[in-house]
Structure 1
Amino acid sequence: MNLHAEAVAELSAWRPADPCQESQRHAFLSFLAARADACQRSCEPGHLTASAIVLDATGEHVLLTLHPRVGRWLQLGGHCEPADPTLLAAALREATEESGIDGLVIEPGPLQLEVHPITCSLGLPTRHLDVRYLVRAPAGAQPVRSAESVDLQWWPVHALPSNVDSVPKLVELALRQIAR
C-alpha cells in the first residue's frame, strides 16, 4: 500500500472525540479522495504534512523548534517524503531528524488535525493539512538543533513561550492522552 492509501486508511479508522476534529477528519478524507497527489509537496492546492508534539519521559517538558520561515515556536514536523510508508512514519522521521534524538517512541493514531495557510518550499501560497502525533523522548534525551531550526528547546508544559499558535492546545491533548 502507498502513503496515500495508508493515509486514507488511518484517517478512516481514527475516531476523534471532538466534533470539530471529526469535521476536520472528513475534510482531510475528502481532500485525499479528490487528489491522488494529496501527500506530495508538489500538490499546489495543499498537501498533507506530519508533525509531532515531543514530550520528555516525565511528560513535564515539550520540545519546540523556532521555525526559521514562520518565526514562531512550533512542534516538530514537515513534509511527507516518497519513501515514507505512513503518516505515522513521516512524523517519527521528522521528529528524529529535527530533534537529533534517537529512540523516540510515537503513539499510534493522530492526536489532532489542523489546516494552516503557508508559503512553503514551492514558493507559492498553499495549505498544510497537518496530521499531528504524540511522541515520547527517552529519559535524559538531549536534543541537537538541525539546520531546519533557528533554536530548539525543552519548555515546561505549563510555561510555554508566548510566540506559539496551536501548541498550547496540542500540549493539552498530549497530556490528556498520557494521563489515560
Structure 2
Amino acid sequence: MTLHDDAVLTLKGYDTDDAGQQELRQAYLDHLAGHPDGMWKACGAGHLTASALVIDPERGRVLLTLHRKLRMWLQMGGHCEQQDPTLEAAALREATEESGIPGLTLLPGGPVRLDRHPIPAPCNWHLDVQYAATATAGATERISEESLDLRWFPYAEVAEVADASVVRLLESARARLGQAG
C-alpha cells in the first residue's frame, strides 16, 4: 500500500459530526483523487501534511514549537516523506523530530482534526491531517533546527500564543482524552 492509498483510507475512516470537518474531508479526498502527487510538496495545487499536538494530559499542558520560518507557535508537523508508510507514521516522525522526545504515542482513533491553510507559492495549500500525541512521564524536549523555541504551555494559555487552528486542535484532542473544558 502506498502512502497515497493510506491517506485515502485514513480520510474515509475519519468519523466526525462536524459539518466543516466533513467538507474538508471530502475536499482532501477530491484533491487526492485529482492529484496522484497530492501527498508531496512538489504538487502545485497543494499537498497533504501530517502534524501532531504533543500533550501532557496529567499536567494539563501542550508542547508548541516557535516555527523558524513562520514565527508562530504551532504543533509539530510537516511534509510527508517517501519513506513514511502511513500518515500516522509521518505525524509521529515529525512530532518526534521537532520535539526531540522519543517514545511519543499517538492518541487512538486516527486523526483528531483536519486543517487547510494557504501557504506561499508554488505550493498554495497545506491540507494538514492533525493527530495528538502524549509524551512519557519525565520526557525532556530538545529544540530542533526547524524551531526558534520549544515550550510547554498550560491549556489555558494556548489561545494567548497560538492561532485559532491550534486552539481548535487542542479542544478536539482534549475531547478525545475526555478532558473537554
Do the structures match in fold with TM over 0.5? yes
Alignment of 1:90-109 (within 5 A): 90-108=90-108, 109=110
Alignment of 1:57-96 (within 5 A): 57-58=57-58, 60-96=60-96
Q: Describe the superposition over 1:15-73 as per-residue Cα deviations: whole angstroms up to 9, x where unpaired.
A: 11211101110110000100000101111110000000110151511000001111110
CA contact (8 A) 2:24 2:114 kept: yes
Q: Which has the higher helix share?
A: 2
State the partner residue of 1:4. 4
Partners of 2:174 and 2:59 in 1: how far apart?
Answer: 7
Secondary structure of the structure 2 residue equivalent to 1:66: strand
Once the two structures are overlaid, the 10-residue window that deviates more, 134-143 or 50-59, is 50-59
Structure 2, gaps ≥5 residues long: none
| Deviation beyond 6 Å, 4+ runs, structure 1 | none
Structure 1, gaps ≥5 residues long: none
CA contact (8 A) 2:47 2:125 kept: yes
Q: Describe the superposition over 1:114-133 as per-residue Cα deviations: whole angstroms up to 9, x where unpaired.
A: 110112xxx63511000000
CA contact (8 A) 1:59 1:175 kept: no
TM-score (normalised: structure 2): 0.93
RMSD: 1.4
Partners of 1:152 and 1:112 in 2: how far apart?
Answer: 22
How many residue pairs were aligned? Answer: 177
Partners of 1:44 and 1:58 in 2: how far apart?
Answer: 42
Deviation at 1:153, TM superposition (A): 0.5
